[in-house]
Amino acid sequence: MSPGLVLAILFVLIGATVAGLVRPRRGSFLLALVLAAAGVIAGELVAIATHIGGPELGVLHPVADAVGIVLFEITGAVLAPARRRAP
């Protein structure tokens, strides 16, 4: 397994965990994982296409990835309905 893939998986897991801590009643953890993965992919595509995205860490651009994760998680928080509490 390449080090870049391991770093990308780590970024996705950290992004989903932080999103779950910040907004615990919005969506499931699976939704947070999907949104974080989409954010990392989008951040990398933007960084590659525009040649901006902060310093490189191996093959990844952590600043662009973090911005992508934040944007996708905020969008998910706005669009996902709040989960109801069990009585």
Q: What is the pLDDT of residues 30-78, one digit of tens each?
A: 888 999 999 999 998 998 888 776 777 777 888 888 899 999 988 888 8
Instruction: Give the residue extent of every domain in the chain.
Output: 3-79
Residue partners of 43: CB distance under 8 A and separation at least 6? 53, 61, 64, 65, 66, 67, 68, 69
The answer on pLDDT for 85 being more than 70 is: no
Residue 83: pLDDT band (50, 70, 90) is: low
Question: Model's pTM, two decimal places?
Answer: 0.82
Strand partners of residue 57: 60
